[in-house]
Structure 1
């Protein structure tokens, strides 16, 4: 049932900023209760949420992965649960909780406020992102002057209830099924499986929760959090899908915005098919860049000619459709092999591992590539999965209009293969509907050009060779929001706080002093 993923997850990979060690020298933050809100405008009927008390304490119990269990031991971090209504239109109804992690500003006298952040996905943990970025920001103006705040959007990570569709064992089994058969029988089998998946999501999560996990609801939670933290206006850093959250917040609450950096933009006016095809083209460009890097090495698994790299990869990967190869006590499928490549194309520091994995695949083994794919799916070494993929599917199925016309689906598959030939399995285009066609709750989002007035100046960062969120999407978002565009020339997904001093200084100056970089600024 590999067609569960309608597009590659567009998330920030914090591989360069991971915090894997505790900081015993930091002062221990004692558990305490804090009522800092309400701050700023409060919608009628939501007063008790906007002015709620937050009970801060250690973060260890909020961990949902092995990496979190290490990072959340940091004594400088504190965590709390924000209560929000499941349905903001009916605040007297069911409550749910949002996991929140905070690293307080180290210079309280110079404190500006809170810097809320979201790393994308949809489905990635903002709590994990804030913990990972904390050490890198410690001695910067962002660390000294802002409380760094990460939250897990509703249904995700430590937030409760969490979206859950498949068990760990079911995910392992699913990844071995590539669902590549385009015949009527194969299409029927694929659709039976995705219909079953949708049913399990409804059964294990609840349709009331699934109906309210979309971006529309997340931005309302974020405004509650802004107020409960005591910030009259929001300062926000959003990566990838986090830019969709940011632009939706800006449209709904323009007067509540202080500053926003939107890095790795999703074009809010683009339909899901065009977005997927353009993303495929982006990954092909990144694959071609990897191929040029690889073919200059004597040990390149794809040979010596970058023009033949796509065909070389196809020769390595396509046999997996018929027979997965051993990978320790598991097996590497075609789905996992292509997912591993996508994972590695997010950042150049993963290219050596990708080449090693392809060399291993040429010898009939798949351990390295399976490890890369596990990272993409949020699978820990102990076999447990985060809910990132289930949450990704749940959010996309309520955010994006559904496509059920088989001719449109077949043409979309053909266009995707043309845009990303390294991912072409060599079989005819497929017209099978995905799980969103059978989703048990209606769509709550729509693709539209933002129409916003009363916004302060925002900063959009777009990377020329971004594989997951193509450069032009950032250009379009900046135009729609009348924001300043900062261009980074590179091949990676997102750029801010990832080591480029030009990008980092521009972003820090903007967030702290509200000073935008000069029009047309490009960082290389």
Structure 2
């Protein structure tokens, strides 16, 4: 899960255990067809509009917010009445940004695919953006601000941003997983669909589970990719989970004779690199590599070579991660009702035969994944 600099990422509730209650402002919810919030292909059947919902459904006088909607229409003559709704991660990521075409989308062979910009997202009318935090993170990543000051500066920027949003009329109590889940149900009802298939990534999996809990009759199936369970406090567990994954890779290398001979100090080398002047970039690159099955087995080589002064591979990872964040997903919804497909975030045995690290050059001591 990636930090976004959007305050919504700090405000989403961690769990919702009760079913949805009667809502005081349901009659104010509607869908209005209109222009697309992003540029889309003109030779495809794509409909757009705005889902208009109360910012805080517990208040009868809550202001209305407008959430952009993008609908890729099915290519089937008689589409199923249960679309796929994609729930992005973050929280705070845009669901519509970069979504231009449905060409090649296998979902459209049988049903529509619907995208809803999450409340607080950058394409909404009431975006909860904190540009000062984004700028500050850039300074931290560049090394202009040291680690000793980073947390205090980020905290101060978050406090200032919150005050600014409240001063501009935002009701921050409305930015929870429960409200976002009710947005999905409001969208289903407004568009006239019988049920929905939820395809969710990272934080989106928590939202999907919240939708299923609050509106069980509306959900046909779930695809949960890289699950964030409702009971998990991500900020409290992320570091420990990252270390657990890293140690699994390091221990696997130590258990493999070839990898251990080529990179005998991979754990120590990583700590040395992480403490260096570009440590935050190194940590980000290795963390992203843990989420890419093609690179997991290459981590010992990238770390060991960089520690020895050969930084080409690691530098390439840093550059590519900055240019194009990792995207993952699947290409099919399973048939049947009330069915869930769960995809593990990263399931990998570093010492297993499918991803064995082998020494390829006696002189350079580099390893490759076979």
TM-score of the superposed pair, with normalisation by structure 2: 0.69
Aligned counterpart, 1:193:
153
1:54 aligns with 2:54: no
Aligned counterpart, 2:96:
127
> How far apart, CA to CA, are the structure 2 residues paired with 1:56 and 1:309?
55
1:175 aligns with 2:141: yes
Q: Which of residues 128, 131, 134 is equivalent to 1:166?
A: 131
| Cα distance, 1:102 vs structure 2 | 1.6
- My pick for the range that moved more, 260-269 or 167-176, is 167-176
> How far apart, CA to CA, are the structure 2 residues paired with 1:457 and 1:285?
37
Q: Secondary structure in 1 aligned to 2:84? A: strand
> How far apart, CA to CA, are the structure 2 residues paired with 1:269 and 1:100?
29
| Cα distance, 1:147 vs structure 2 | 0.7
1:115 aligns with 2:84: yes
> How far apart, CA to CA, are the structure 1 residues paired with 2:55 and 2:114?
22
Give the root-mean-square deviation of aligned CA atoms. 4.1
| Cα distance, 1:107 vs structure 2 | 0.8
Aligned counterpart, 2:270:
313
Q: Which of residues 72, 82, 86 is equivalent to 2:51?
A: 82
Q: Which runs of 5+ in 2 are unaligned?
A: 10-20, 327-336, 349-353, 356-370
> How far apart, CA to CA, are the structure 2 residues paired with 1:75 and 1:201?
41
What count of residue pairs does the alignment treat as equivalent?
A: 316
The aligned runs of 1:356-435 (5 Å cut-off) are 362-363=309-310, 368-375=316-323
Alignment deviations for residues 489-520 of structure 1 (CA, whole Å, 9 cap, x no partner): x99xxxxxxxxxxxxxxxxxxxxxxxxxxxxx
Aligned counterpart, 1:27:
none
> How far apart, CA to CA, are the structure 2 residues paired with 1:4 and 1:127?
15
Alignment deviations for residues 181-205 of structure 1 (CA, whole Å, 9 cap, x no partner): 6xxxx4xx45532331222321443
Alignment deviations for residues 260-319 of structure 1 (CA, whole Å, 9 cap, x no partner): 222322222234466335522453157449969x997xxxxx985455322223333422
> How far apart, CA to CA, are the structure 2 residues paired with 1:178 and 1:216?
39
Q: Which of residues 218, 231, 236 is equivalent to 2:198?
A: 236
Q: Secondary structure in 1 aligned to 2:205? A: helix
> How far apart, CA to CA, are the structure 2 residues paired with 1:353 and 1:101?
39
Alignment deviations for residues 31-61 of structure 1 (CA, whole Å, 9 cap, x no partner): xxxxxxxxxx985531241xx243144x4xx
TM-score of the superposed pair, with normalisation by structure 1: 0.51
> How far apart, CA to CA, are the structure 2 residues paired with 1:357 and 1:81?
47
The aligned runs of 1:31-70 (5 Å cut-off) are 43=23, 45-49=25-29, 52-57=30-35, 59=36, 62-63=37-38
> How far apart, CA to CA, are the structure 1 residues paired with 2:4 and 2:225?
26
Aligned counterpart, 2:220:
258
**Do the aligned partners of residues 85 and 348 (structure 1) sit closer, same or farther apart at CA in structure 2, a change above 3 Å counting?**
same
The answer as to whether partners of 1:115 and 1:149 remain within 8 angstroms in 2 is yes
Alignment deviations for residues 349-389 of structure 1 (CA, whole Å, 9 cap, x no partner): 456997679857835788534424535889xxxxxxxxxxx
- My pick for the range that moved more, 200-209 or 259-268, is 200-209
**Do the aligned partners of residues 163 and 464 (structure 1) sit closer, same or farther apart at CA in structure 2, a change above 3 Å counting?**
closer
| Cα distance, 1:154 vs structure 2 | 0.8
Aligned counterpart, 2:66:
97
The answer as to whether partners of 1:114 and 1:235 remain within 8 angstroms in 2 is yes
Alignment deviations for residues 122-145 of structure 1 (CA, whole Å, 9 cap, x no partner): 22332248658x4442xx4x2222
